[in-house]
Amino acid sequence: MNTIANAFGLVLRRLRKEAKLTQEQMGFEANLQRKFISELEMGLKSPSLETVLKVASALGIPPEDLVAQVAAEISQGSIMG
């Protein structure tokens, strides 16, 4: 069974790749460790609100768009948290 963390990870990986950023570049832009970005993308860690805001800023999108994309991923994939 998938989780909300998995949905966030899928969305994060997709948006990061669309932005043509490596995990290291993403970490630098978001002021987060590359390893933490990797753990988020693999669904091993759940993001805090602060992390969501940092990631959205690094991607150049409003945080509500990031959350909406995660919600859509949950709906499409029947992900349970």
Q: In the Cβ-directed half-sphere of 11, how many Cα atoms lie within 13 Å?
A: 28
Alpha helices, H only, 1-81: 4-18, 23-30, 34-41, 49-59, 63-77
Q: What are the C-alpha distances in Å from 44 to residues 8, 34, 35, 60?
A: 10, 14, 11, 24
| Rounded Cα–Cα distance for residues 65 and 81 (Å) | 20
Number of separate domains in the chain: 1
pLDDT at 73 over 60: yes
Domain span at 14: 4-77
* pLDDT given for residue 79 in this prediction: 53
What would the pLDDT profile of 30-66 be if each residue is shown by its tens digit?
999 999 999 999 999 999 999 999 999 999 999 999 9
- The CATH number linked to 72 is 1.10.260.40
pLDDT at 1 over 50: no
